Structure 1
Amino acid sequence: MTTGVRRRMGVEERRQQLIGVALELFARRSPDEVSIDEIAAAAGISRPLVYHYFPGKLSLYEAALKRASEDLASRFAEPHEGPLGARLLRVMRRYFDFVDAHGPGFSALMRGGPAVGSSTTNALVDSVRQAAYEQILSHLEVSEAPARLELVVRSWISLAESTALIWLDGRRIPREELEVKLVRDFAALTAVTAAYDDELRALLRPALGKEPADGPFGDLVTRLIALAS
């Protein structure tokens, strides 16, 4: 018979454990509603020991949200293989996987609040948006976006955020439907802008011209033609 002995963690290992515990709690409730006492209890340590590793409640929240923001930003990375619509659909599925798993924390982070409204956490949100923006441009094979294309892409990223937040409030629409809708929204936004901008039309034609008729972009075109007829 062996006797279990609790292993002493190193400083960085303990910090990472506390960050992980905080993220698990944020997945169920808003960061503002989670206390240091709860985090300490879940980690199996005392409240003073939490403050040994993090100088204050906000610093722990910021560290946890930094990890979450890096995870969320990574969801936009996608191999440049296959039609653009299919790539964006895979991205949206991973995006909603994150939203689904971290609902309260995602909602609090995007909407702001006393615990997450610091300049640090605001910068984290901006870093996710910038990572998404750069990934979309890379899939369009555009290194430097004209002003109108930048407006379209950043507007679509904001639309994805707003859609996810609305979905979290009751989940009244199947997420799979919203994932496809957002891909079609991207196609619609770019098409409307390109229809009145020769430069943008030339930039987008190589990527959009490869879309199959049965993909999310092609299906949208078919339905729009039917609507107008």
Structure 2
Amino acid sequence: MTTGVRRRMGVEERRQQLIGVALELFSHRSPDEVSIDEIAAAAGISRPLVYHYFPGKQSLYEAALRRAADELAGRFLEPPQGPLGARLLRVMGRFFDFVDEHGPGFAALMRGGPAVGSSTTNAMIDEVRQAAYEQILAHLEVGKPSARLEMVVRSWVSLAESTALLWLDGRRIPRAELELQLVHDFAALAAVSAAYDDGMADLVVRMLADEPADGPFGDLVGRLLDLAPRVPAQRLR
């Protein structure tokens, strides 16, 4: 049974509550569409009290994005055990979990939202991309990447981001298919680069050495082989 007495929160606890409330609202609608009055009502406090903890909507928005950015960067953390293809597939699963749960907030983070042009927001976006980039290099066991490898990994991180944003517009392709396709995209980008560079070729050979036939990379090879009979022989010469 409740007593009807509302517990008084400390300053930091209240700030964290407001950030959580804002993130929940941003998960369903664009931050542009969420008012301070709605955030105050959802938190069970008055509008002036929100301004006691945050000087304005912009500062609350940036604090919410900070938490979202940290959580999103954490989705790329994966123990370095097992085949690379399976690891990347698990990463993509967690990445799309976040996108699915925080659609409008994810779009706002990646597109800038009401803070477009803000150096703070831009820095947070760059931190997420850099964290993803560094995690992929760690899985490849590469400390100092070549120019081609850097291009491959950064291109793939950008591709995952843009694919997720497009998927949010109607979710017209099954999510599981996109997750697997993005893992295939990574292998394809690396393979194409390997055709131009011996160092990348060595990396791709090492990357595929421990991949099982029924893993994501093996699946890609099977799909490509299935396509071969459909291409006229003269076009392959």
Normalised by the length of structure 1, the TM-score is 0.96
1:35-92 Cα shifts (integer Å, max 9, x gaps): 1111011001111111110111111000000000000000000001110000000000
The CA distance in 2 between the partners of 1:99 and 1:91, in whole Å, is 12
Q: What number of residue pairs does the alignment pair up?
A: 229
**1:104-143 mapped onto 2 (5 Å cutoff):** 104-143=104-143
Amino acid at match of 2:209: G
User: Do the aligned residues in 2 keep the contact of 1:129 with 1:157 (CA within 8 Å)?
Assistant: yes
Q: Cα distance 1:195–1:57, how it changes in 2: closer, same or farther (>3 A)?
A: same
User: Do the aligned residues in 1 keep the contact of 2:31 with 2:113 (CA within 8 Å)?
Assistant: no
- Residue number in structure 1 paired with 2:184: 184
1:132-175 Cα shifts (integer Å, max 9, x gaps): 00000000000111001000000001110111011100011110
The CA distance in 2 between the partners of 1:197 and 1:159, in whole Å, is 22
Fraction of identical pairs, as percent: 80
User: Do the aligned residues in 2 keep the contact of 1:61 with 1:116 (CA within 8 Å)?
Assistant: no
Amino acid at match of 2:35: S
**1:134-173 mapped onto 2 (5 Å cutoff):** 134-173=134-173
Aligned Cα RMSD in Å? Answer: 1.3
User: Do the aligned residues in 2 keep the contact of 1:31 with 1:115 (CA within 8 Å)?
Assistant: no
- Residue number in structure 1 paired with 2:234: none
**1:16-95 mapped onto 2 (5 Å cutoff):** 16-95=16-95
How far did 1:124 drift? 0.5
Moved more, 78-87 or 215-224: 215-224
The CA distance in 1 between the partners of 2:207 and 2:219, in whole Å, is 16
How far did 1:195 drift? 2.0
How far did 1:33 drift? 1.0
- Residue number in structure 2 paired with 1:11: 11
Name structure 1 gaps, 5 residues minimum.
Answer: none
Normalised by the length of structure 2, the TM-score is 0.93
1:177-204 Cα shifts (integer Å, max 9, x gaps): 1000000000110011012210112233
How far did 1:2 drift? 6.0
Moved more, 65-74 or 188-197: 188-197
